[in-house]
Amino acid sequence: MNLAYDYPVLGAFWTVMWIFLWVLWIVLLFRIIGDVFRDDTLSGAGKTGWLIFVVVLPFLGVFVYVLARGKGMGKRAERQARAQQQAFDDYIREAAGSGAGPGNEADQLAKLSEIRSKGDITDAEFQRAKEKILH
Residues 111 and 56 in one domain: no
Query: Does residue 101 sit in helix, strand or coil?
Result: coil
pLDDT for the residue numbered 103: 59
Q: What is the pTM of this model?
A: 0.58
First to last CA, the chain: 86
Q: Are 65 and 105 within one domain?
A: no
Is residue 35 included in any domain, yes or no?
yes
For residue 102, what pLDDT band results from cuts at 50, 70 and 90? Answer: low
Using CA atoms, how far residue 131 sits from 4, 100, 124, in Å, is 85, 15, 11
Are 32 and 65 within 8 A, CB to CB?
Answer: yes
Task: Give CA–CA dist 32/60, Å, rounded.
Answer: 13
User: Of 21, 49, 70, which one is at a domain's C-terminal end?
Assistant: 70
Summarize pLDDT for 55-67 with one digit per residue, the tens.
999 889 999 999 9
* 94 part of a folded domain: no
On whether residue 114 sits in a domain, the answer given is yes
Host domain of residue 115: 100-135
Number of structural domains (the chain) is: 2
